[in-house]
């Protein structure tokens, strides 16, 4: 069935280090892959997304890569800061549309000063 | 605030009662989505509207759940005969094209 797996579930890094979160998806028709950041008690916030016609996208310290053949996509955060600490969710839009998002289970990132 | 808004933010109810939540999307957004999020999990898709038409509904959504978007603007989600397993955060999102923006959610606690 429709599924997005996300790893790791928790990630602890020192300030200034890089963090990488990886996701795999099952629906080969998926064409849109957003990433959300959720701080405790707050709404999920869209931080970056990528569409299937692009292999990589970068926005300042954040980048996302997509490998459609392997059905993998990853979030890369460089020069991490304490304010990057949050839960990060990957998602995939299934069935070739742009409507139904299937989310991963989340990665709790802790950035230690 | 021009973002997605939801009301109420918190709801405590007794098992068996009906509850209704409201979502006001970003004004120019024609698509509206409802998700449910339990502790430690990602949001789970419930249903989706384009304008006033409900175009998709999760197979996981029981008959006790119903959603409406009568004029293509705000939406309501009703849960009838609530059960303890319905306790969760109910999130609404809206989009104009692709990017979905979430509201703050309504946290439901069923006692």
Best residue of A4, A40, A43 to probe chain B, by most B CBs closer than 10 Å = A43
Phi then psi dihedrals of residue A19, to 5 deg: -130, 140
- In this prediction, residues A86-95 reach a mean pLDDT of 92
pLDDT tens for each residue of A25-49? 998 888 899 999 999 989 999 999 9
Give the three-state DSSP class for A45: strand
CA angle A68, A3, A94 (to 5 degrees): 60
Cα–Cα distance between A63 and B55 in angstroms, integer?
Answer: 33
- Tell me, yes or no, if B99 comes closer than 8 A to chain A by beta carbon: yes
Q: Which of residues 38-57 of B touch A (CB under 8 A)?
A: 40-45, 48, 55-56
pLDDT on residue B2: 75
CB contact under 8 A, A45 and B102: yes
B15-56 pLDDT tens trace: 999 999 999 999 989 999 999 999 989 999 999 999 999 988
Q: What is the pLDDT of residue B7?
A: 97
Report in angstroms the alpha-carbon separations of A106 from A22, A74, B31, B52, B105: 10, 13, 25, 32, 18
C-alpha torsion sign, points A45, A30, B55, B82:
negative
- Bridge-based pairing of strands A107-112 and A10-14 is parallel
**In residues, how long is chain B?**
111
**Is it the case that residue B61 has pLDDT exceeding 90?**
no
Cβ-defined contact of A43 to B45 (cutoff 8 Å)? no
Q: Please check the confidence at residue A70 and state whether its pLDDT lies above 60.
A: yes
Nearest CA in chain B to A101: B45
What is the tens place of the pLDDT at every residue in B84-110? 999 999 999 999 988 999 999 999 999
User: Can you tell me the mean pLDDT for B57-65?
Assistant: 87
């Amino acid at each position: 069935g429709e599924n997005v797996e996300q790893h790791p579930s928790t990630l602890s890094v020192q300030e200034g280090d890089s963090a990488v979160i990886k996701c795999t998806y099952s629906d080969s028709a998926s064409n849109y892959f957003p990433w959300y950041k959720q701080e405790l008690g707050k709404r999920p916030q869209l931080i970056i997304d990528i569409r299937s016609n692009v292999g990589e996208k970068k926005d300042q310290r954040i980048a996302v890569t997509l490998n459609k053949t392997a059905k993998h996509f990853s979030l890369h955060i460089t020069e991490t800061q304490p304010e990057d600490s949050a839960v990060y969710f990957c998602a995939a839009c299934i069935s070739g549309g742009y409507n139904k998002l299937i989310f991963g289970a989340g990665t709790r990132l802790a950035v230690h000063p | 605030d021009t973002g997605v808004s939801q009301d109420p933010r918190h709801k405590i109810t007794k098992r068996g009662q009906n509850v209704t939540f409201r979502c006001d999307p970003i004004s120019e957004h024609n698509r509206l989505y409802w998700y449910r999020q339990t502790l430690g999990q990602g949001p789970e898709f419930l249903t989706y509207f384009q304008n006033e038409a409900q175009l998709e509904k999760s197979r996981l959504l029981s008959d006790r759940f119903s959603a409406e978007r009568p004029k293509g603007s705000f939406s309501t989600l009703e849960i009838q005969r609530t059960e303890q397993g319905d306790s969760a955060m109910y999130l609404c999102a809206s989009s104009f094209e692709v990017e979905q923006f979430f509201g703050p959610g309504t946290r439901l606690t069923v006692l």
